[in-house]
Amino acid sequence: MADEHKVYHFTRPWKWRELRKRFKDDLVERFKTREVRKTDYGDAYVLWKVYEVGVLKGNLHKWFKPITIIDVELKPLLMLEKMYDRWLRRTSQYAALGVDVTADIELFRNSVEDLRRTIVAKAGEVWPRFMEIANWLGLSGGDLGGLVGLAGTLAYLGWPLRKTSMHKAICYFGLYRPSREGTLKYIERTGKRFQRRYNRSARRYLNMLAKSILAKEGRHPPKARDVREILRKLINALKELEPIGV
């Protein structure tokens, strides 16, 4: 921020109902009421209680993450690009079924291309060594899809503020294969079919990066082990490069 105050965001919104239930007695005591209603003041108090408990237990980093220029300026563009690309693919499916959507396809295709060029330009501003990383991976300025994939992958890795290990990255991008024993234990414990939990948006951009790199080598489509190897190569490159500002 301009006044040097740090801004954080709450990283686990899916636990909100559980947290309100956990701190229900504190809410009743704080606001002197028998019935706890959802209000802005109550939500702020619950966030403060989460912060207080996180400080005491030393795991505050799990609940709050600092907001950076990447979150403000780059990730909104990535989200918009993903939405436009989804609309383009859906419209193309309608065209394959015989629906006359030629004008819409052209509109979405131009929008996606313009957004991707904007993302690459913004990535060059956010990471001064963005093109150096791209060249390290074998990408050039004309590989628009690969450069967007690299920008998205770096954004979700949180580089250079977070130093992600390969083990955590494999889980985050969904590049793991659960063991049969672990799957059976999960089904026995929960009664539900095992579902892989990973960030699908991050995986999409990593796949875009891998597809562009492997296309230069004449390999298509990318397999899981190829994507994993490219991720390893990227993480090793980031470790060797000295980050210059964000």
- Domain ranges (residues) in the chain: 8-66, 69-175+199-240
Of 171, 150, 152, nearest to 74 (Cα)?
A: 152
CA distance 41 to 43: 5
Q: In this predicted structure, what is the pLDDT of residue 3? A: 59
- Predicted local distance difference test score (pLDDT) of residue 119: 94
Per-residue confidence (pLDDT) for residue 205, from 0 to 100: 92
The whole-model pTM stands at 0.75
- Give me the pLDDT at residue 245, please: 46
What pLDDT does 88 receive?
87
Task: Reply yes or no: is the peptide bond before residue 222 cis, omega within 30 of 0.
Answer: no
The per-residue pLDDT string of the chain (246 residues; one tens digit each, 9 = 90 and over) reads: 455 677 777 777 777 788 888 888 877 777 776 666 777 777 888 888 887 776 556 666 677 777 788 888 899 999 999 998 988 888 888 788 887 777 788 888 888 899 999 999 999 998 888 999 999 888 888 889 999 999 999 998 888 777 777 877 887 787 766 556 555 554 555 555 545 566 788 889 999 999 999 888 877 777 888 888 888 899 888 887 755 444
Using alpha carbons, select from 113, 124, 111 the residue that is nearest to residue 151: 124
For residue 177, the Cα-to-chain-centroid distance in whole angstroms is 20
